Amino acid sequence: MAEPFRIALAGVGTVGGGVAHQLLTRGDELAHRAGRPLKLIAVSTREVDKPRRTDLAGIPWQANCVDLASTDAHIIVELIGGEDGPALDLIEAALEARKPVVTANKALLAAHGLRLATTAESAGIPLRFEAAAAGGIPIVKALRESLITYPIECVRGILNGTCNYILTEMEATGSPFAEVLRDAQAHGYAEADPALDVGGGDTAHKLAILSALAFGVAPGTRSMRVSGITAIEQEDISFAREFGYRIKLLGVARRNGQQLDQRVGPAMVKIATPLADVDGVFNAVVVHVASAGPFIFEGRGAGEEPTTSAVIADIVDIARGANGPAFGRPARDLEPVVSAPGDACRSPFYVRFALLDAPGALAEIAGHLAHAGVSIDSMIQRPQSTADAVVIVMITHECSQTAIEAAIKAISASDKVVGIPCLIPMETI
């Protein structure tokens, strides 16, 4: 019998609890896959006495998770979470002790991924993170190992189940954002503090990981445009339907020559195209590969079972001897992102604003658009229920981000416009 593969696990919450459960209850089956028994030899949690679904009584517990790195474990699995703090301390200690690491921690990888990958590669050990982007969908392995022959042109995805659930429910129920968010929190689909999800930050962390794998750039969010779904109103969802679109929070990374356009935000996605039909807490990623693609991945992006499935797959890979650079290329070859300028980022746009119902008001808006070089493809005008204003919705012809932003700035400054205009790009592929 081969020597057991000894595993130390930090964090036994939603994901870590699932991993511990699988290791302790399905050992024989996993041993067949790994080619050797998988043995949980130590755990660390915040509270030792907290009731757990899986009985961990026989597993040695470490009060300080960093001490896991000095056990005789073959591998450290970090499932605590958080960009810094104990999770980072543990991973650094593990790599220093030349122990392979598996993590699901996208926030930490987006902030420190390059440095940690460099350390792991210098030590000749693997750092794996399949669960960190799109949960159970095996997109990390696909980008790292499979879609490597032809250049990738674009990666687009619905990467946050909370936002997708909220947008799907807003459409299905006609309820406003705040009400649907409260309902999502009550059902456990949204955190008590939802800012990272609904503000787009969580999607940005995951996009940073996918961009690094797909385009060979250093992971990071600094060069991204990031916005969330908090400003989406019920009328945007119904106008989108009228134009044949649905609103989704997308993470998009698109190659533009030597530059990269990376953005996170609400986008209009044409009905009956792959991302438009992804509902509820599901995630999906479309990878456009020159000559060979598109490839579409869809599945559960969060929750105990899908995420556990991805973590166990990484553990089994490493138990079998898998190694190689964390982001598919040597870390020293990962380039800094050269952002595509706003002039190079082009699409049609959806624009909604409330306009005073006064002579010359619409002509003034048309003037601002024309001055910025933006032309209108179609327009709808509706009375607004309050005040003496009308709601104007325009779909522009394709134009640059810079041009539409200049037009929106001028429109927002007009004394004939009430409130803040809403601007959403329309996905064209």
C-alpha to C-alpha distance for 207 and 222, rounded to whole angstroms: 12
What distance lies between CA 413 and its chain's CA centroid? 33
Peptide bond into 336 cis (omega under 30): no
129-188 binders of ligand NAP (CB under 6 A): 131, 135
Nearest CB to ligand NAP, comparing residues 14 and 230: 14
Nearest CB to ligand NAP, comparing residues 10 and 30: 10
C-alpha to C-alpha distance for 21 and 38, rounded to whole angstroms: 12
Residue 264, CA distances (Å) to 98, 155, 261, 398 in order = 36, 12, 10, 19
Q: Which two tokens stand for residue 115?
A: 């440095």
CB of 401 to ligand NAP, least distance (A): 30
Among 47, 72, 193, 415, binds ligand NAP (CB under 6 A): 47
221 binds ligand NAP, rule: CB under 6 A: no
Among the listed residues 172, 427, 149, the one whose alpha carbon sits nearest the alpha carbon of residue 274: 427
CA dihedral sign, ordered 218, 223, 225, 230:
positive
Among 21, 40, 44, 211, binds ligand NAP (CB under 6 A): 44
Please identify every residue annotated as catalytic: 206
284-313 binders of ligand NAP (CB under 6 A): 302-303, 307
**3-state SS, one letter per residue, for 304-370:** HHHHHHHHHHHHHHHHCCCCCCCCCCCHHHCECCCECCHHHCEECEEEEEEEECCCCHHHHHHHHHH
230 binds ligand NAP, rule: CB under 6 A: no
Nearest CB to ligand NAP, comparing residues 89 and 235: 89
Among 7, 9, 15, 390, binds ligand NAP (CB under 6 A): 15
84: burial class by Cβ within 10 Å (0-12, 13-18, 19+)?
exposed
Nearest CB to ligand NAP, comparing residues 165 and 239: 165
Interface with ligand NAP (CB under 6 A), residue total 25
Among 50, 320, 371, 382, binds ligand NAP (CB under 6 A): 50
Nearest CB to ligand NAP, comparing residues 128 and 254: 128
Among 104, 167, 213, 404, binds ligand NAP (CB under 6 A): 104
Which stretches of the chain bind ligand NAP, using CB under 6 A?
A: 10-16, 44-47, 50, 65, 79-81, 86, 104-106, 131, 135, 302-303, 307
